[in-house]
Structure formats: structure tokens, C-alpha cells
Structure 1
Amino acid sequence: MEKFVKIINDEEFNSKIENGSGIAVVDFFATWCGPCKMLAPVFEEAAKDVGNKASFSKVDIDQCLELARKYGVSTVPTVMIFKDGKPVDKMVGFMPKQQIIEKINSNF
């Protein structure tokens, strides 16, 4: 199965998200987090459904601590929506796919 979501590091975050254009959806997660594991397939499905309208990435907060701090991520999973490099929306905790898609659509 093709993966629609890529785990990115600090440098990729800087070039793809902060310096990117359009809508970017980022899942801040941790490998040890139960709700994060539950969200992973839902996030993947949302990425597939939304297609090219937005880019989807994941950031491991244990690997990118400074990034998590910079964006005030204290609870995982936290899904943030960026528009043209600026954070415009934030969802904390597990959420259904439809809720993620509705948040994305409300930011176009």
C-alpha cells in the first residue's frame, strides 16, 4: 500500500512546511503514545481522501524536541494545519477522519 504520509525531520519541516505554500497538515506524535498509534491509520486515510489539496507529514516529538516546543506541542497526538508556512489550526488528541478533513477544508 502506498504511503501518503512521510515522517520528516527538522530540516525537512523547515523547507516543506515553514517555507512551503498551500495547506500542510502535520501530526506531532510519539512512538510510545497509544492514541498516536490509533490516529496513524486515520491520518493516512485523511491524507488519501484529501489528495493533492494538502500535504501531510508526521513529526516524532522525541526526535524533534525543539520543533515541538516551538509550536507549543505538549500533548500528543497534536495535529496542526499550516497555511503558507503559518500555523492556522490545532487539534489535540485522537479525532475521527471526518473531523480532520473538515478542519482542513475550513482553512482553504
Structure 2
Amino acid sequence: MSDHIQHLTDQTFTEGVAHGYTVVDFWAPWCAPCRELAPLTETLAVELAGKVRFAKLNVDDFTPLSEQYDVLSMPTLVIFKDGEPIDRIVGSMPIDQLRARIQRSI
């Protein structure tokens, strides 16, 4: 478990995305692209600390939340600002592209 990425549940989700910018990684343990993306989000969580928070939500454990945010493919990163989704990134990509997409939203 990472010190830089919060693991959300149905009980902690609303508070976890309520303030500022939060990137939520909707993932599943069986998803190979999700496993590829994990070290990239870890790196970006360190780089962008103080500007944006990073969190993860296991879609297998919390399916209603993934359905609420129309997560149909994984990985899907949803960028929240003050509790509202403002952007989404679907699929894995190189870290430079991922960084640029996130920075455009924050």
C-alpha cells in the first residue's frame, strides 16, 4: 500500500474527493493495464503532491460507485474538483502523456 495514494471505499469516497483536485484510479486486480498504470500514478502522486491528490477504488469491491461514474473500461482515471468529476482518462498511456492530461485539468 502506498503512502502517496489513498485507497477509497464506499464509506470514504465522498470525503476523499470533496476538496481540491483528486485523481481517482478506478481499477481491478485482474486488469493488466491497471497494473501497468499503478507505478505511473505513484510517481505522479509524488511529483504533483500539494497540487492534486491521488486515490484508488477497486471496482470489483465497490461496483455501485464505478457504475455511478460510468466506468466501463479499466483503468479509468476520473479527475474530481471539489467533489465533482471534471475529466476522465481511459486506458494506460506513457507517463509524459498522463502527466500532461492531468495538468491540463488542474
Structure 1 stretches of at least 4 aligned residues deviating more than 6 Å after TM superposition: none
For these two proteins, the number of residue pairs brought into alignment is 105
More helix by share: 1
Match of 1:25 in 2: 23
Partner SS for 2:96: helix
Matched, 1:72 2:70: yes
TM-score (ref. length: structure 1): 0.91
TM-score (ref. length: structure 2): 0.92
Match of 1:81 in 2: 79
| 1:101 Cα deviation from its structure 2 partner | 2.0
Task: Give me the whole-angstrom Cα distance separating, in 1, the residues matched to 2:95 and 2:5.
Answer: 14
Instruction: For structure 1, list consecutive stretches of 5 or more residues without a partner in the other structure.
Output: none
The letter for the 2-side match of 1:103 is: R
Task: Give me the whole-angstrom Cα distance separating, in 1, the residues matched to 2:97 and 2:58.
Answer: 22
Instruction: For structure 2, list consecutive stretches of 5 or more residues without a partner in the other structure.
Output: none
Task: Give me the whole-angstrom Cα distance separating, in 2, the residues matched to 1:59 and 1:34.
Answer: 16
Match of 2:5 in 1: 5
